[in-house]
Chain A
């Protein structure tokens, strides 16, 4: 290797490292700015509040990381959250009063069955979308845009447009409970993130996900079942959405068809801000966790600083664009 090549390499590495650390640096900068402007920001109560807010779309963003790593996209997750939340609610209540009953005596079912219903609904919906993407080669954007409408429609049908509220204590623990000072949803988010991180970095499946995103043709030629990976990834984000739907219903003590509106964009933003490339093949769960925290800190901090909700939207939008532009710049430099 010549000196020029070696230096070129270290330059590429420097940019690769910079690209990896940038979200973390942004996050710390935001925390410092907000804390200095409003010391209340750093109170443990507020910090856990941020974490709790982040955790539900964080769970979905973890699933979205896999999808974006294979150059895909899933716009249906918000609708899936609503649909699966309603599935959980119906099971927990044993039906809907005055419309239909699932159990003979009109009593509700155990929270575990409700959670299972939500997760199953999400996973099956994700799997169906995955089939359309993998086998019919319909662009993921189109499939999930359609799915977004379909699942929202199913949610409206289940709830007949209205909310289903009032669950038992055990059901509510998953969204509102605490273990020590830590809210339960935060622990669920952490567990999902940890498992996803292990799968992506340590297993053959994780490697296949990166390979498919990096160069699908090369992956196929090397014996990787590209359709299988694609299917699994969409089923996986369906699973995450189902789980998120259950936790959200539990936290709000209510499920309704408009729940989770806009979650798709928040989740995509978290992934992209976290440094996972929309072109696939690079990025990962760690970045997404930081991206999700960053989004949460930004929203919370702006509220605490009494920034108007209208201005908040403008700022969040600008930051997303800046993050993608930065990602693009880094990619070009590290080539």
Chain B
């Protein structure tokens, strides 16, 4: 038996196609989701929602509802008046509307009854008097009509947040250009639509003065803070527990009305209260993709090298802050991560409208601008007579460089990703040579492996893990890593198992319980594998050290020769000399006492010092490239995506089965965004808050997905493992749009690219006009002059003539 050195070691569990640790529970129906839970004496809560998009709330009368036998308590905004928000700068929501409603579906009252029927019946008897105000249902309308303001919080009118930044000298950059092109693009809003509707079960223990909330949520830490604030409790009086979560995608990250209301109703009644949203209500809870208008202007040299770029983003934020300040900045951060842009200006505005609040959805804030950019680059390549892939290759970033906006790229496998999909799809032989109606499209993207900054300022770690080894050799890991289906539990178990020489199923996990598990900021920004993973790695290494010390002492073997592998700790020189893991645990406990270790992780300091530089930095970036093949029908306008090749720079796949699953799921969600999904409104009403009206791709629409995992060496990630949950979505949407253009020689510069829009573009073409549908102008708005940010030194040196 030859034992490999650490560096050349073939990992025992990392990289293996092992079953996920929560697989058995989920496939057998034993996994418990929040709505599956019941407590003795439990009441059922129901929210009453606004029927107006914008109105003064004159009165909310509960008397008739309270008379219904079985109704135990009812509340209005007066009972929960404290404003809150995940974002410290936000603080513009209340659990129930006070004085004003700002979208159809905003909760105005809540009640609790002995069963769901009674609660629903009583909810209909709550009398609400409104005094309607003009509703602003899109960007342009909200900007054109500054009064009455939807909120007083923004700088003026209905503007919520502004960004205006310039890196380098954009006008000087454009002056160097041989060719300048400007394009407009509109990205329709869409929603997460997780299969499990949101649900919360709250129980106030009056004796202990302690509130416990079980909830389908992906960020228990921020919710913990938010609940304490909204309810006027100390944080230690609140415990948030997250049971199994039936999908999140960013849609279960905010502080939600039903969570605060279930808690308040429980505090009033002394009984547990559960509120589960209906499918319709999930569409009002929303926090999905911002509808966004983009204008991109790029200057290039004749050979295709980019010399300057100006991106303008207009975000329709809906009625509240949610994660909007970050969403706005994300629209500008990622373009320089894929391409070298020597002079770059980003200007953005987020506008309030009278619709459910927009927030973070898979890719948070970046898919809209990415899509607009990749479509724009396709057109630029046409202008220059260059292959679209070639244009990208001439501008790619590489590993270990600083972008013009001060983001630090470490590992970068984008070039390899491009080669994989170009090769596999036969791009060079087939693109542009397919029969009319069939087309290939290409796009690249980049995403963060975890946000480098926390949502509220702190210099404390972003992730902490506790680990305990008991005398039977059992290992328990305590982590707030929140499993929403993405596989965080398996990732953590895999890392700990690899370090300790165990199997993932040997690791017991206690997760997402704010009383029992140390901090993790949440399952967002693709941060868990890297941040919780690094903390778990550190805790596991410390436990391994104790075990090795004890074994070395007992067996009189030099510690440096000991390894933990195959559930044993043994001498690599004479592998039969060693101990079982359980034996080692007992020796270590005898030697050191209770075996408990911990680990923590704090991301590197950001390098930029400009206002807004907190959004965009990440310990490591992932890169993806995609080729999509479509068959488009010029008669019906229908687009069928037949095949998608995606290559993703994963660093290293902890478990390739789970990584592929994230890529395939991203393709599904991207397909919906590209072709059919839209959170759209008819006058003041959601156009169709149901699965029948809100079209998502079914198994019949799914294309064949060919996934390539590109491995790179990422020293900042545990076992080099970078993110995969969000990045691969980004390139798929524009690849599909570019494929439509290749197939039909028309441009749909708007998603979703529905059959109606495809037909309209063809109609335009037949009339001899540009075969294009999409926005033709931006709203009347002038951005403030940009803050001029000095470029990193490396850029100034590169600009010097040799």
A binds B: no
